[in-house]
A and B are shown apart, each in its own frame.
Chain A
Amino acid sequence: MTPKPGSAGPRWSGERPAADGPAPAAGAPPTGGAAAWAWPLGVLLATFAAGFAFDLWTRGWWALLGVGFVCVVLLAQELETRLALRWRGAFQRALALGFPLSLLLIWELLAGSGILNPRWFPPPSQIAVALWELTVSYDRFNRSSLIGRPWLVPEFFAERGWEGVQALVRESHVWATLSRVLGGFLIGAFPGVLVGMVMGLNRTVRMMLDATMSAIYVLPKIAIFPILMLVFPNPFGEGPKIAVVAISAFFLVAISTMAGVQGIDKVYLEAGRNFGASRWQMFRHVILPGALPIVFSGLRLALGTALIVIVAVEFVRADRGVGFLIYYYWQVLVTPRMYAALVVVMALGVGLTALLQWVERRVMPWRRG
Chain B
Amino acid sequence: MSAKIVARSAEKRFQTRAGWMTALHDFDLEVAEGEFLCLVGPSGCGKSTFLRILAGLDHATGGEVRINPGPDPRQPLANVVFQEYAVFPWKTVLHNVAFGLEMRGVGRKEREAAAHRWIDKVALTRFVDYYPAQLSGGMKQRVSIARALANDPQVLLMDEPLGALDAQTRAVLQEELLQLWEESRKTVLYVTHSIDEAVFLGDRVVVMTAHPGTLKTVIDVDLPRPRDLSVMATPEFAALTGAVWDALRDEVRRAMAEQG
A and B held together in a complex: yes
A contact set with B: CB distance below 8 Å: 265, 267-268, 270-278, 281, 285-286, 289-290, 292, 364-367, 369
Query: In the bound complex, what is the Cα–Cα distance between A272 and B99 (angstroms)?
Result: 9
Main SS class of interface, A: helix
B contact set with A: CB distance below 8 Å: 55-57, 76, 78-80, 82-84, 86, 88-92, 99-100, 102-104, 131-134, 147, 151
Whether the Cβ atoms of B89 and A366 lie closer than 8 Å is yes
Q: Which of B86, B104, B134 contacts A267 (CB 8 A)?
A: B86
Whether the Cβ atoms of B89 and A274 lie closer than 8 Å is no
Whether the Cβ atoms of B90 and A270 lie closer than 8 Å is no
Q: Which of A265, A273, A367 contacts B57 (CB 8 A)?
A: A273
Interface centre among B80, B84, B90, B134 (most CB of A within 10 A): B90
Whether the Cβ atoms of A270 and B57 lie closer than 8 Å is yes
Q: Which of B88, B103, B131 contacts A268 (CB 8 A)?
A: B88
Query: In the bound complex, what is the Cα–Cα distance between A54 and B82 (angstroms)?
Result: 74
CB-based nearest B residue for A271 = B86
CB-based nearest A residue for B144 = A271
Q: Which of A275, A278, A285, A366 contacts B79 (CB 8 A)?
A: A275
Pairs across A and B, CB under 8 Å, 18 listed: A267-B82, A271-B82, A271-B86, A272-B103, A274-B55, A274-B79, A275-B99, A276-B100, A276-B103, A276-B104, A285-B103, A286-B88, A289-B88, A289-B91, A290-B90, A365-B131, A366-B91, A367-B133
Whether the Cβ atoms of A285 and B76 lie closer than 8 Å is no
CB-based nearest A residue for B130 = A366
Contacts of A267 in B (CB 8 A): 82-84, 86
Contacts of B88 in A (CB 8 A): 268, 271, 285-286, 289
Query: What's the least CB distance linking B77 to chain A, in Å?
Result: 9
Query: In the bound complex, what is the Cα–Cα distance between A272 and B151 (angstroms)?
Result: 13
In the complex with contacts A289-B88, A366-B89, A366-B133, A270-B103 CB distance below 8 A: no
Q: Which of A268, A281, A289, A365 contacts B86 (CB 8 A)?
A: A268
Top 4 A-B pairs ranked by shortest CB distance? A289-B90, A366-B131, A275-B100, A267-B86
Interface centre among A268, A274, A292 (most CB of B within 10 A): A274
Whether the Cβ atoms of B99 and A285 lie closer than 8 Å is yes
Q: Which of B56, B84, B99, B132 contacts A273 (CB 8 A)?
A: B56
Query: In the bound complex, what is the Cα–Cα distance between A265 and B82 (angstroms)?
Result: 13
Whether the Cβ atoms of A366 and B104 lie closer than 8 Å is no
Q: Which of B56, B84, B132 contacts A274 (CB 8 A)?
A: B56
Query: In the bound complex, what is the Cα–Cα distance between A369 and B92 (angstroms)?
Result: 14
Query: What's the least CB distance linking B108 to chain A, in Å?
Result: 14
Query: In the bound complex, what is the Cα–Cα distance between A271 and B88 (angstroms)?
Result: 9
Main SS class of interface, B: loop
Q: Which of A275, A289, A290 contacts B103 (CB 8 A)?
A: A275
CB-based nearest B residue for A273 = B57
Query: In the bound complex, what is the Cα–Cα distance between A369 and B134 (angstroms)?
Result: 8
Query: What's the least CB distance linking A147 to chain B, in Å?
Result: 39
Interface centre among A267, A289, A366 (most CB of B within 10 A): A366
Contacts of B78 in A (CB 8 A): 274
Query: What's the least CB distance linking A256 to chain B, in Å?
Result: 18
Contacts of B100 in A (CB 8 A): 275-276
Contacts of A292 in B (CB 8 A): 90
Query: In the bound complex, what is the Cα–Cα distance between A285 and B147 (angstroms)?
Result: 15
Interface centre among A271, A278, A364 (most CB of B within 10 A): A271
Whether the Cβ atoms of A270 and B86 lie closer than 8 Å is yes
CB-based nearest A residue for B157 = A274
Contacts of A367 in B (CB 8 A): 133
Query: In the bound complex, what is the Cα–Cα distance between A286 and B103 (angstroms)?
Result: 12
Query: In the bound complex, what is the Cα–Cα distance between A265 and B133 (angstroms)?
Result: 15
CB-based nearest A residue for B90 = A289
Query: What's the least CB distance linking A267 to chain B, in Å?
Result: 4
Query: What's the least CB distance linking B81 to chain A, in Å?
Result: 10
Query: In the bound complex, what is the Cα–Cα distance between A100 and B103 (angstroms)?
Result: 54
Q: Which of B82, B99, B131, B147 contacts A270 (CB 8 A)?
A: B82
Query: What's the least CB distance linking A103 to chain B, in Å?
Result: 38
CB-based nearest A residue for B104 = A276
Query: What's the least CB distance linking A363 to chain B, in Å?
Result: 10
Query: In the bound complex, what is the Cα–Cα distance between A265 and B131 (angstroms)?
Result: 17
Extra 20 A-B pairs, beta carbons < 8 Å, given A265-B84, A268-B88, A366-B91: A267-B84, A270-B57, A271-B80, A271-B88, A274-B56, A274-B79, A274-B80, A275-B76, A275-B79, A275-B151, A276-B103, A276-B104, A278-B103, A285-B103, A289-B90, A290-B90, A364-B90, A365-B131, A366-B89, A366-B92
Query: In the bound complex, what is the Cα–Cα distance between A253 and B134 (angstroms)?
Result: 29
Contacts of B147 in A (CB 8 A): 275
Contacts of A273 in B (CB 8 A): 56-57
Query: What's the least CB distance linking B222 to chain A, in Å?
Result: 33
Query: What's the least CB distance linking A269 to chain B, in Å?
Result: 10
Query: In the bound complex, what is the Cα–Cα distance between A16 and B133 (angstroms)?
Result: 48
Contacts of A289 in B (CB 8 A): 88, 90-91
Query: In the bound complex, what is the Cα–Cα distance between A277 and B79 (angstroms)?
Result: 12
Contacts of A364 in B (CB 8 A): 90
Query: In the bound complex, what is the Cα–Cα distance between A364 and B83 (angstroms)?
Result: 26
Query: In the bound complex, what is the Cα–Cα distance between A305 and B55 (angstroms)?
Result: 46
Query: In the bound complex, what is the Cα–Cα distance between A273 and B99 (angstroms)?
Result: 12
Query: What's the least CB distance linking A268 to chain B, in Å?
Result: 6
Interface centre among A268, A270, A275, A281 (most CB of B within 10 A): A275
CB-based nearest B residue for A278 = B103
Interface centre among B56, B86, B91 (most CB of A within 10 A): B86
Contacts of A277 in B (CB 8 A): 103
Query: What's the least CB distance linking A289 to chain B, in Å?
Result: 4
CB-based nearest B residue for A281 = B103
